[in-house]
Amino acid sequence: MTIAVTGASGHLGRLTVRALLNRGVPAGEIVATARNTESIADLAGLGVRTVAADYDDPTSLPPALAGVRTLLLVSGSAVGQRVRQHGAVIDAAVAAGVERIVYTSAPHADTSALVLAPEHKATEELLAAAPIATTILRNSWYTENYADAVARADQTGEIVASVGEGRVASASRQDYAEAAAAVLTTDGHADAIYELTGDLAWTHEDLAKAASAVVGREVTFRNVTPAEHEAMLREAGLDEGTAGFVVALDQNIKAGLLAEVTDDLSRLIGRPTTPLIDGLRATMG
């Protein structure tokens, strides 16, 4: 049973490969792909087969997927390009005879107003139209997304955002990677859709308290208006598009789009999800 993981040079892909190994999958039955195999030399050192595959080079994909039975398609990071990129991977997987694709999507991608949702919705539609079994992992927020904010708070003593009292049901990348590995290696997941979240939805006041414990100084949360937030981001050097995107995400959080808590993730990994403070401690190293 050969399992392939795309984007294995990224955090989630690499963790998933290691989670597969921890579940007892023989290294020789795992294919890890990346644009540059030098970036996943550590996985090759564990006996995993590493193959060059680039979402932007469709000709690189069929050789990488030859003989693969199950594929984890880790969503790309190039906003605006992902539907085309994911479509190329799906086409190559179908042509290679892959039996099932597991895809990392976004919360309620088919109905959510989340700014990240449209490309995931379009990818899910491509998967639904493909003649192949699928499993959709709708990953909620990663606790690691706040590593930079906590690092800044160590210097400034505050976390600044425009989320109001919005809640975030985050979990660690390790949690999501273990869930992906479970779905890749066990039966009963064909055509399933999982809404994966942490066990607890926290506010940015909670984030500031956790950051205080992690960095060893008092950290407070300062809520600002969207306009103030965007101006601050622009002053910090972000371009207009990126600053607007960050503010839009904060408004999604304020609207409660990342607040839902389900037990899908904890059930798949067989344990509670990683608490916020523990996830931050692991991230800050």
Do 59 and 28 lie in one domain? The reply is yes
Q: Which domain holds residue 253?
A: 141-171+197-261+272-285
pLDDT (tens digit per residue) in 182-238? 999 999 999 999 999 999 999 999 999 999 999 999 999 999 999 999 999 999 899
Looking at the domain assignment, is residue 192 inside a domain? no
Looking at the domain assignment, is residue 189 inside a domain? no
Instruction: Calculate the CA dihedral of residues 160, 161, 166, 168 and round it to 10 degrees.
Output: -80
**Angstrom distance (rounded) from CA 222 to CA 51:** 46
What pLDDT score was predicted for residue 19? 98
61: CATH: 3.40.50.720
Q: Give, in order, the Cα–Cα distances in Å from 103 to each of 26, 218, 274.
A: 22, 40, 22
**Angstrom distance (rounded) from CA 155 to CA 138:** 34
Do 145 and 135 lie in one domain? The reply is no
Percentage of the residues of the chain whose pLDDT score is greater than 70: 100
**Angstrom distance (rounded) from CA 196 to CA 178:** 12
pLDDT (tens digit per residue) in 111-123? 999 999 999 999 9
Do 94 and 14 lie in one domain? The reply is yes
Average pLDDT, the chain: 96
pLDDT band at 79 (very low <50, low <70, confident <90, very high): confident
Looking at the domain assignment, is residue 283 inside a domain? yes
SS3 state of residue 270:
coil
CB 222 within 8 A of CB 164: no
Work out how many domains the chain is built from and give that number: 2
Q: What is the mean pLDDT of residues 90-105?
A: 97
- Cα 212–chain centre separation: 26
CB 124 within 8 A of CB 92: no
Do 78 and 218 lie in one domain? The reply is no
CA atoms within 13 A on the CB side of 85: 20
What pLDDT score was predicted for residue 192? 97
SS3 state of residue 56:
coil
Do 123 and 13 lie in one domain? The reply is yes
